[in-house]
Each structure stands twice: as C-alpha cells, then as structure tokens.
Amino acid sequence: MGERVNPIADLRYAATVPPVPAAATRASGALHDRRGRPLRDLRISVTDRCNFRCTYCMPKELFGASYAFLPQASLLSFEEITRTARLFVAHGVHKLRLTGGEPLLRKNVEQLIAQLAALRTPEGKPLDITLTTNGSLLARKAQALKDSGLQRVTVSLDALDDAVFRRMNDVDFPVAQVLEGIHVAQRVGLAPIKINMVVKKGTNDHEIVPLARHVREHFGPGVVLRFIEYMDVGASNGWRMDEVLPSAEVVARLDRAFGLQPLAAHTLGETAKRHAYRDGGGEIGVISSVTQAFCGDCNRARLSTEGKLFLCLFANQGHDLRALLRGQRDGRPYTDEDIAAAIGLVWAQREDRYSELRTQQTPAAQPGQPRVEMHYIGG
Ligand code: SAM
Ligand code: SF4
Ligand code: SF4
C-alpha cells in the first residue's frame, strides 16, 4: 500500500479485499452474476467533494466545514482508474460514466477522459463514455471535455425557477449558469445531452411542467429530460416515502400538458422508461427506482473515489480493489490477470437487488456499516 491515508475518511465504508484466485483465467467478456445479469456499465466516482449541498444528497448540517473528505493519497490516480476500467472492459463493460461528488471538480479530469477514450472493447470498439455533472462548471469546461473524447453529458437540474433551484442546491447557485452550461455543451457537440431532475413531492414537483416546456422551447429534441424518483440512498437525507412522487404521476402531468406516447426501450438494462411527445417535440424519460424496481437486469457496478467496488447503489459493503492495485503477492505486484480474476469472482457472486426488496419502511442501516452515500458513490 505504501501511502498514508486518513483513517477516518478511508474507513467510513466497510470493504473487504477480494480474494485473488491462485490460477487466473482470461476474462471472457461474458461474465454473469448469480441472477444471470451481465456486467456492462461501470460508474466511476472521481471525487467525493462537491460545490453544491443538495438537500437530498449532501445536507449542509452533515457536510459542513468539519466533514472529513477523502485525502488526496486515498484517491485512485488516473492511471489506476484507467487500469481498472480496462479490466472491467475485458469482462464486458462497454459504458463508463464519470460521476462523484462533482466530477468537474477533479483536477485535470479531461486527461482521465482522454485515457479512458483510448480504451477499446474486445471487439475493438470505442466505449460509450459519459459524465454526470451539476452543470456549474460546464460552460467553462465543455469544449475541453469534448476535445478530450467525451461524447455526451448528463446534467442534473431540479428546477427552472431560480429561487427553488437555489434552495435545493443550498449554496445559492443561480439556475441561469447551469442553463448556460447546457447551451455551451450543445454548441460544442456533446450529444445527446440528458437532463436529470430529481422530483421531491412538495419541494419541486410544481417545476415538472415548466422545466419540460423550457427544454422543449429552448433546447429542442436533442436534449432529453428525465425525471428521477427521490431515493432512499445513504442515511443522511431523511428520506420519506411520502416525498416520492411516483413516475406514473409525472407521466400523467406531462401527458395532460403536452400529450405523450410510450416508446420501446433501446437496450436491456436501460434505467429510464421513455415517452415521446405526440407533436414530435422529442422525448422524456422516467426513472422509477422506488415504485418500479429494475434490479432484474441491473448490469451496473460502481467504483468509489478510493477504489472500492460496490455492486449496488444501496450496498453497505464494498470490495477494496485499491488494495490489489497497490498491493503485492509473494513480493510482486498483482498482475492485470490477478485483479481481473478477483473482479470476476466478486461479480459472479453478486446477488444484490435492493430496490426489489425495498419495503415502504426503509430498513435502518446496520450500526457501524452505513449504506454508501450518493455523493461518495455517484448516481
Ligand atoms: N454532482 C453530480 C450531479 O449532481 O449530477 C454527479 C453526482 S450526483 C450524486 C448523481 C445524480 O444522483 C444526480 O443526478 C443527483 O440528482 C442524483 N441523486 C443524488 N441523491 C439522490 C437521491 N436521494 N435520489 C435520487 N437521485 C439522487
Ligand atoms: Fe453535489 Fe450532485 Fe450531490 Fe448535488 S447531487 S450535492 S451536485 S453530488
Ligand atoms: Fe441495481 Fe441495486 Fe439499483 Fe437494484 S437497487 S437496480 S441492484 S443498483
């Protein structure tokens, strides 16, 4: 391991070091978990820090000046992230999403994107690389992101009304700058652009129709607005079921306002259910993580900023890949084959399906084993 790390921040989430099989076999690209689900999508958190304090994700009272974010030495380097991503690609991953915290806060993130963009699937195809951002730095960075090889971007935007938006990000950030970021992203050719709105009943659900209207009128069909049900991620947002507005209600409201018709899914494992505007004005998506679980074909793995692998957004136990990336066996560093085999074993044993098992009453996190927080593992 070598490097000194802050034990408090580093040990916040439990993780075990995955066993490395004695004889490693080559990754086949056709790995499946215990429920027959392949591994296709890797979400990489590049920082646990954020310049927003969204009330549902990093409430100010808990993420204040005294909060211990991960120290620099804990973070995976760009080389470590790229190596890990390459091993996941050999196992069948073809989509990478950079997230956080706020990924655009990670210094020189464009260099990481350039390294990831050079990876190829076993069939020689480029990967689908995207990034989820709060949009605050997008106007400034969109061109550099595009130049580094990023294809598309997802921007989180919870309200069109400036006062509501400022209240939800809780750092008084103006909505106009995020809208400007989306315009610049569109201009430099990042496409398709998706906008994600987390809907919290009683907080911003009155913004659904105005935001949809704004996107239709100002961005056009190239920008897809998606509505996410407010989830019980982590343990710090004080989630309550009665603050969830079911996606069916979102669709009903948009149907009344504009007229919608359902669309077929593009791919297996797609999280959003798609609907087209009847007038040809583009489409919207709804992500019903609470009311309609989609664990059955969940093909996503998540890599935390300091190299812990989580197999479910709601997991309370990670798998410490950094220990392998920086560790040794019999006096020699682990090889790519060793680490790929360890990842293969971990995925093969996966059984997670939290959303399917979720009940109206959120089970309390185990003492000493808090569920991972969204700012730490990304969306
Ligand atoms: N900071 C970036 C952003 O906000 O886009 C990337 C990280 S953020 C954790 C990723 C996504 O998770 C965002 O779209 C955010 O709205 C969503 N999110 C965070 N907490 C959530 C919750 N409790 N329920 C549903 N979505 C949530
Ligand atoms: Fe930051 Fe994104 Fe979480 Fe908001 S949702 S606090 S922008 S990480
Ligand atoms: Fe995948 Fe876990 Fe979400 Fe189910 S709850 S869809 S297994 S991340």
Taken in order of first residue, the domains within the chain and their CATH numbers are 15-377 (3.20.20.70)
Partners of 98 in the β-ladder: 44, 131
What is the pLDDT, as a whole number, of residue 379? Answer: 67
Q: For ligand 1, say whether the CB of 196 is within 6 Å of any of its atoms.
A: yes
Q: 172 CA distance to ligand 3 centroid (A)?
A: 32
Peptide bond into 210 cis (omega under 30): no
pLDDT in tens, 111-131: 999 999 999 999 999 999 999
pLDDT in tens, 20-76: 988 777 777 789 999 999 999 999 999 999 999 999 999 999 999 999 999 999 999
Q: For ligand 2, say whether the CB of 133 is within 6 Å of any of its atoms.
A: no
Q: 353 CA distance to ligand 3 centroid (A)?
A: 5
User: Is residue 184 scored above 90 in pLDDT?
Assistant: yes
User: Is residue 2 scored above 70 in pLDDT?
Assistant: no
What is the pLDDT, as a whole number, of residue 3? Answer: 43
Report whether 170 contacts 55 (CB < 8 A). Answer: yes
Q: Rounded to an integer, what is the distance from CA 122 to the centroid of its chain?
A: 24
Q: For residue 353, which atom of ligand 3 is closest to its CA?
A: 7
Q: What is the pTM of this model?
A: 0.92
Nearest CA to ligand 3 atom 2: 312
- Cα-Cα-Cα-Cα torsion 246, 192, 86, 350, nearest 10 degrees, comes to 10
